[in-house]
Chain A
Amino acid sequence: MALTKADLAEALYNELGLNKREAKEFVELFFEKIRASLSAGESVKLSGFGNFDLRNKNPRPGRNPKTGEEIPISARRVVTFRASHKLKERVEENAQSKSEDFNNQAELNAGSR
């Protein structure tokens, strides 16, 4: 199941005792402050989680993949996210323990046959 704003508000209600309206408003505001900073051209660095950076892209020729028609892609500014080392490590460790579980389970299954 994907984590949503409703889940995040629920966590603030359960873990910190914000009331439901405050929790919902806080979650909205949290993402809005990040959007506002990026919209103003300022990157966002959340230590332990990751950085949201801005990149300027040059115009380039593109193509409609369905029709093959050529359409120019204009110059634009885009947001990129770089996960922190801490977050990357947490994701990798977990995936590793999952594949170990999978292998252990496969051995058990083989043994029972």
Chain B
Amino acid sequence: MTKSELIEKLSASQPQLDDRDVELAVKELLEQMSSALAGGDRIEVRGFGSFSLHYRPPRMGRNPKTGAAVEVPDKHVPHFKPGKELRERVNNL
């Protein structure tokens, strides 16, 4: 399912909202979630899961083409932990 398919499904089940509003609402939710993570905050949605940042310490990497050693600085990467309901439903097939 892509973002546009998600928008279509939501439009179908929310006929009182304009299609345009549904599209804006989906974009707004994703923007809120992205900016929370970019600002270093967690996201917690019961029954769905939580998003947090995991720290990656600095390391020495290598340019695969030239073999030259390069320093890779430390960073934070987004991490998702599925919630109980999602875990159980996905596994019940």
Q: What residues of chain A have their CB less than 8 Å away from a CB belonging to chain B?
A: 1-5, 7-8, 11-12, 15-16, 18, 22, 25-27, 29-31, 33-35, 37-39, 41-50, 52, 54, 76-81, 83, 86-88, 90-95, 98
Contacts and interface: CB of A to CB of B under 8 A. Distances in A.
B34 A33 contact: no
Give the size range of B's interface with the partner.
35 or more
B9 interface: yes
Interface of B: 1-3, 6, 9-10, 13-14, 16-17, 21, 24-26, 28-30, 32-51, 53, 75-80, 82, 85-87, 89-93
Contacts, number: 152
Instruction: Identify whether the interface residues of A are mostly helix, strand, loop, or mixed.
Output: helix
Nearest to B16: A22
A25 B17 CA distance: 12
